[in-house]
Structure 1
């Protein structure tokens, strides 16, 4: 029932705020070399408290330096942080960095800020990404924001520009049923399984229209997997 989903959603929000607070304090206390372990600990704790189980499918390519994911819920980030074995740096819009409290969660581990209003932002973005990719994997939601429907939003060109210019190997990831488990816009929580499906990686330079084709491929996989894992009533 909707009312119970709302109550659970409020519970989830409280849990996330509390654990994020502890996460921020941990970032401030411990050296940066511990950041990946800290993120894994707290994101797994969030999933446990919310009653969410993550199953993975497909092979993770350790040589891929960019991972691209669909985005439908706030829980997408904890799901990836809790299960992806390599350290990563997120690309996020400037407005999120400027958010009180939660902005620290982006700033402290030195994620990459994207200012869409600044015409010179792409130059700084490429420079920073080139430096960060030496030690970390770049993680990006090409839709740019959370989708509230079953269709993926149009992919913004930033991911393609970075991957093409830096000759990165890209691995797509499809996150299945995240919004159905925790709708962070409606604030509804329905515990259950979220699937993280790793698709085959590829070299960005090999195909000119790869971003457009990738969106279509990810949509097809998402539709198929949702029919099995969280079909509409």
Structure 2
């Protein structure tokens, strides 16, 4: 059994009962082929929560600083995370993300780039739009509706894939596409609160 499966099992055992996680729309995640799951970001626990509630194994981008600790960095690599430099265009991370999608895997993104501790949904960075436009991946919006409080319900909502055909044909900007993705996340959050 690999470390990803072990990690997913352990996180499930701990997090599902602790936060009484309720999943909505899991069937909206395509069973195969490239997919980008884009979620709002309210806690450091968001990546494992998206990981355990998704039907797919997910590769996550994580801030480069986390990989500087050899123990944490080693674990992150084994659970399909890879580093990105924040605040600058990181060509290696972009290439790695596109390769993951080209190989038909799932990529997990938090377009806001940082946690919104007030629970509001912030503005997304253009990176999500870049991956959406440069790949043939399905784009699945995800809303995590918190807060994370022990034994209070946490909801994870997966929306229907966003049709990117028009944006790809019109060669829309990455920011325009990210804005559309964030709007879908906001709508899921609003409807399911």
TM range (shorter): 0.7 to 0.9
1:9: which partner in 2?
Answer: none
1:129: which partner in 2?
Answer: 97
Distance in 1, Cα, partners of 2:86 & 2:130: 14
Secondary structure at the aligned position of 1:146 is classed as: coil
Residue 210, structure 1, aligned to residue 177, structure 2? yes
Q: 1:190 aligns with which of 139, 144, 150?
A: 150
**CA displacement 1:18-42 (0-9 Å, x = unmatched):** xxxxxxxxxxxx5xxx234212211
Secondary structure at the aligned position of 1:46 is classed as: helix
Question: Which moves more between the two structures, 94-103 or 140-149?
Answer: 94-103
Question: Which moves more between the two structures, 79-88 or 101-110?
Answer: 101-110
Equivalent runs, 1:135-214 vs 2, <5 Å: 135-177=104-146, 180-181=147-148, 189-207=149-167, 208=172, 209-214=176-181
TM-aligned CA distance change 1:118 to 1:149, over 3 Å: closer
User: 1:107: Cα distance to partner?
Assistant: 2.2
Stretches of structure 1 that go unaligned for 5 or more consecutive residues are 1-29, 182-188, 227-233
Distance in 2, Cα, partners of 1:145 & 1:200: 24
Equivalent runs, 1:15-94 vs 2, <5 Å: 34-48=2-16, 51-58=18-25, 59=27, 60-62=29-31, 63=33, 65-94=35-64
User: 1:158: Cα distance to partner?
Assistant: 0.9
User: 1:135: Cα distance to partner?
Assistant: 4.5
* Structure whose CA Rg is larger: 1
- Which TM-score applies when normalising by structure 1? 0.69
Contact 2:34 2:136 (C-alpha < 8 Å) held by counterparts? no
Contact 1:167 1:203 (C-alpha < 8 Å) held by counterparts? no
May I ask how many residue pairs the two structures share in their alignment?
A: 182
Distance in 2, Cα, partners of 1:152 & 1:117: 19
Contact 2:37 2:141 (C-alpha < 8 Å) held by counterparts? yes
Distance in 2, Cα, partners of 1:100 & 1:145: 23
- Which TM-score applies when normalising by structure 2? 0.82
TM-aligned CA distance change 1:206 to 1:36, over 3 Å: farther
Question: Which moves more between the two structures, 208-217 or 158-167?
Answer: 208-217
Secondary structure at the aligned position of 2:8 is classed as: helix
